[in-house]
Structure 1
Amino acid sequence: MSEPEIPRLLLVEDDPQLLAMLETLLTEEGYRVDTAADGQRGLHLGLSREYDVVVLDRGLPAIEGLDLLTRLRVRGVITPTLILSALGNPADRVAGLDAGAEDYLGKPFDIDELLARLRALRRRHLDTARSLPVPGGRLELDGRRVVREQGAPERLSERECDLLATLAARPGAVFARRQLLTMVFDEAESEAVVDTYVHYLRRKLGRAVIDTVRGRGYQLGRGR
């Protein structure tokens, strides 16, 4: 009989004492733990390795926790994620869940509750994590297409899909052009490329799919 597979967990936390404590605790709980002390390292590990669950702080160096989670979701990483943060008021929790987290626990926290929540996350089957709601339908990341409530599905290019997914992963957020350029168009130099792809998406899906926020940038259309 084969041995049961050890669940893998990614822990992203910049407090060295808390990081060490949690690593020991989670290892004793039966996880194989990889750690990252900043968002850049967390992003690298999240994209290059497969995990069963992620525990993520928000106030991280290099890449802020919610931005890190958004980048993982946009690139198709659907690993169940629990945000563990000192930012624990209702608005902070809503922001974390809107960014794609499955659960949110404020600091200070009860260890038994943390472990129970992680067990619950691992049990959950995230069938909907491969799609995101957009105005008039859903964006299916696997097929790079928008399935509409009315009409035939609309195929998207890779960049169109990445741009729309970035906006849809955080539907209440406004993204500056420079921010979208960095997150979606790695090799581009001009912010004009963002406007071009917004035009492409509006031409395919209608102007309501993306809203322009004057002087600030773009956000997912609010007519959902």
Structure 2
Amino acid sequence: MRILLVEDERHLAEALEQVLSRNNYSVDLAFDGEEGLYQALTGIHDIIVLDIMLPKRDGLSILEELRGKRISTPVLLLTARGETEDKVIGLDSGADDYLAKPFQTTELLARLRALGRRKGEVQVKNLSTYADLELNPHTLELKVNEKSYHLTLKESQLLEILMLNHDLTVSPGSIIEKIWGFEGDAEESHVQVYISFLRKKLSQMESKARIQTHRGVGYMLTVSKES
């Protein structure tokens, strides 16, 4: 299970990363609000642990933007303040749970397990769309107009990354990190193989979307200019 931890106190973030890693979680770290929002929008995470008080952008505005973009990844809010008002605002903004600092790591782990179970029990319909593509990352179903195709998990994850970053070049290294993680043994050739698979399926489905290769830089999902 992959966790995005957005926390500006580096010593706390790094300590939590060690605890989570020992409990078999993969962890992506962000130390300010802008980086946290970027990773939340472009990455694939099972749970987001989000501090409210952050530099550059606060956690509540990040949460509101994620929910506004129909990103339903479970969010656990962290804050040094324990006032009821903060809890109400956070939960009303779309948070799934709330944990006030200081807290015991055992409680954090218990809440993450609960959120993980909840995510598995409730399959939220959170569709990614671009051009004529409609991807359901939960069922792995890709639709183009009246045609549908069942993707593999890796194909779905890769296409979702490209759709979330459409018209932007995504590096192979970023793709490997998001899909296979730092500890995986995937190489750039793995990405090339899955890009090839996706191109064939988009062609078979007669989609207007195309995956361009920017040699030495990465891949971009864009719309064909052909009529």
Q: Describe the SS at the equivalent of 2:65.
A: helix
Q: Does 1:82 align with 2:79?
A: no
Contact 1:80 1:102 in 2 (8 A): yes
Q: Which runs of 4+ in 1 moved over 3 A?
A: 125-131
Q: Which runs of 5+ in 1 are unaligned?
A: 1-6, 132-139, 143-224
CA shift for structure 1 position 128: 8.6
The one-character-per-residue Cα deviations of 1:68-105 (angstroms, maximum 9, x if unpaired) are 01111111211111001112111111111011110001
- Residue 56 in 1 paired to residue 50 in 2? yes
Instruction: Report deviation, 1:127.
Output: 4.5
Contact (CA 8 Å) 1:130, 1:141: kept in 2 or not? no
Letter paired with 1:85: T
Residue 106 of structure 2 is aligned to residue 112 of structure 1: yes
User: Deviation digits for residues 151-200 of structure 1, max 9, x if unmatched?
Assistant: xxxxxxxxxxxxxxxxxxxxxxxxxxxxxxxxxxxxxxxxxxxxxxxxxx
- In 1: Cα distance, 2:18 partner to 2:90 partner: 26
| TM-score, length of structure 1 as denominator length | 0.54
Structure 2, unmatched stretches of 5+, are 130-227
Q: CA RMSD of the aligned region, Å? A: 2.1
| Alpha-carbon distance, 1:28 to partner | 0.8
Is the aligned partner of 1:92 residue 2:83? no
* Conserved 8 A contact 1:56-1:84: yes
Is 2:33 the counterpart of 1:39?
A: yes
Match for residue 18 of structure 1? Answer: 12
Q: Which amino acid aligns with 2:112?
A: L
Q: Determine if the alignment matches structure 1 residue 73 to structure 2 residue 67.
A: yes
Partner of 1:121: 115
Structure 1 CA distance for aligned equivalents of residues 123 and 68 of structure 2:
14
